[in-house]
Amino acid sequence: MVTVGLTGGIGAGKSEVSRLLSSYGAVLIDADRIAREVVEPGTPGLAAVVAEFGEGVLTADGGLDRPGLGAIVFSDPERLRALNAIVHPLVRERSAALEASAGPGDVVVNDVPLLAENKLAPLYDVVVVVDAAPDTQVDRLVRLRGMTEDEARARMAAQADREERLAIADVVIDNDGPLEALEPQVRRLWEQLRHQPQNIVKS
């Protein structure tokens, strides 16, 4: 088994890289998806979030008001840390269980947005960083996700900066260009992970 930590700043295109790797046959563990699952209605995770942030972070039907909670935590580092302290251990526990169920010959890709921030690089055999220039990230967030430029930059500022991510990379996928330039890079990475993972040197 080869374990991969895949990360990248918001708007860099990490989700497209994980989709491609999954389509090639990787076992994908998506930390964002798991983070949503562990705070679904009725979970201990949601109860802990409500205990920390109050009933105001719930929707009328008892689910988590993600935009409302986001507005609180992304402008306040202390509140963001409080949320992460609840959610991250739950995500790690679920991710570990999924990884344990993979086969010995599998490539397990852990899609982890905050890999650099939480200093998780040592957990993986290979760390892959999807990289794009900050202006490219802002353009995608405004154009594709409907954020204002200020919202986009606030989300980016809440993450590690580009240099911090690149410093932990064993492999960098350049996604500053068009989508058609991405696939050949990801295909080369997949072939290396499948056949010559020992040649990817840990940083």
Q: Are 175 and 130 in contact (CB under 8 A)?
A: yes
Other residues' Cβ atoms within 10 Å of the Cβ of residue 126: 23
92 and 113 fall within a common domain: no
48 and 145 fall within a common domain: no
169 and 111 fall within a common domain: yes
pLDDT tens-digit map of 6-27? 999 999 999 999 999 999 999 9
16 and 82 fall within a common domain: no
Q: Are 94 and 34 in contact (CB under 8 A)?
A: yes
Q: Are 106 and 99 in contact (CB under 8 A)?
A: no
Is the pLDDT reported for residue 92 higher than 80? yes
Q: Minimal CA–CA distance to 142: which of 152, 155, 156?
A: 152
44 and 21 fall within a common domain: no
pLDDT tens-digit map of 108-117? 999 998 899 9
Domain of 148?
A: 1-26+106-203
pTM across the whole model:
0.80
pLDDT at 158: 86
> Looking at residues 18-43, what average pLDDT do you find?
94
Alpha-carbon torsion 117, 31, 169, 134, what sign?
negative
pLDDT at 203: 42
What's the CATH code of the domain at 70?
Answer: 3.40.50.300
> Looking at residues 27-56, what average pLDDT do you find?
95
- State how many domains the chain has: 2
Q: DSSP 3-state assignment of 29?
A: strand
7 and 63 fall within a common domain: no
> Looking at residues 79-99, what average pLDDT do you find?
92
- Altogether, the residues listed in the chain come to a count of 203
Q: Where are the alpha helices (DSSP H) in 74-200?
A: 77-100, 134-145, 149-157, 162-167, 182-195
Is the pLDDT reported for residue 164 higher than 60? yes
